Amino acid sequence: MLPEARQRKIVELVSERDGCSVEELAAEMDCSKATIRRDLNELADRQLIERSHGGAVPATSVGQEQTYRQKEVQNLDGKVAIAERAVEEVHDNQVVFFDAGSTTMQVAKQLPANDTVLAVTNSPLQAMELDDDGTEVKLTGGSLRRPTRALVGPSAERFMERMTFDVLFLGTNAIAADGGLMTPNEDEARIKELMIEKSHRVVLVADGSKIGEQSFISFADLADVDVFVTDADVPTDLAEQFETDDVTLAEVR
């Protein structure tokens, strides 16, 4: 396993298990304890995990918001699979909004070259990614939230209020057991509400780690979503809610 892939897997395991020992990680990765220790020190320097006695713990505790840098290395294969299915929702001559986030970033990366599509986003990172592929891009403007690299605030909201989009690729921090979509931040909740309000078709993209979780603020319900693309098996109760709300459920692997 290449060092980058090994370190990405270490961050995933530490996050999923709420901490791992050096011994556990060495066995899981089939490499020496010395290699794991070097990886953990490097990951701690990058603030992706925190070192503990004999191992590592997640860089954020329960209830805290993970940074974009932490999210972008977690479950990358699943996010790519989600993105490959999600871009099937884009057609010629559409205006497509890309919500800020690590999963929507993968959607931006998977978008085929198409000079008839106009992309709009509140993510400077995604704007650069889309521009590199030759897609015409507009940014919302606004204030940059450092944890998520998202543009939010009054300027972004005024931009959104004047616009209409054909398709929205929407991210979320949590999908509660009752189907509520949630985020930890009020400014991000408001901009997400406007994205949904201004979009004809809403495609929710979220990996299995978001399902059944809770966060601070609810910004939408399942009834606001047209398509949900995920890499997980959705629990029966939640799947029934999707069916009741006429949401197309696409489970990818």
pLDDT, tens digit, 9 for 90 and up, residues 193-240: 999 999 999 999 999 989 988 888 999 999 999 999 999 999 999 999
pTM over 0.85: no
- Chain segment 5-62, per-residue pLDDT in tens: 899 889 888 877 878 999 999 999 999 999 999 999 999 888 788 888 788 888 754 4
Q: Decide the pairing of beta strands 95-98 and 165-170.
A: parallel
Helix axes 154-161, 186-197, angle to 10 degrees: 10
- The Cα–Cα gap between 113 and 117 comes to 9
pLDDT of residue 64: 60
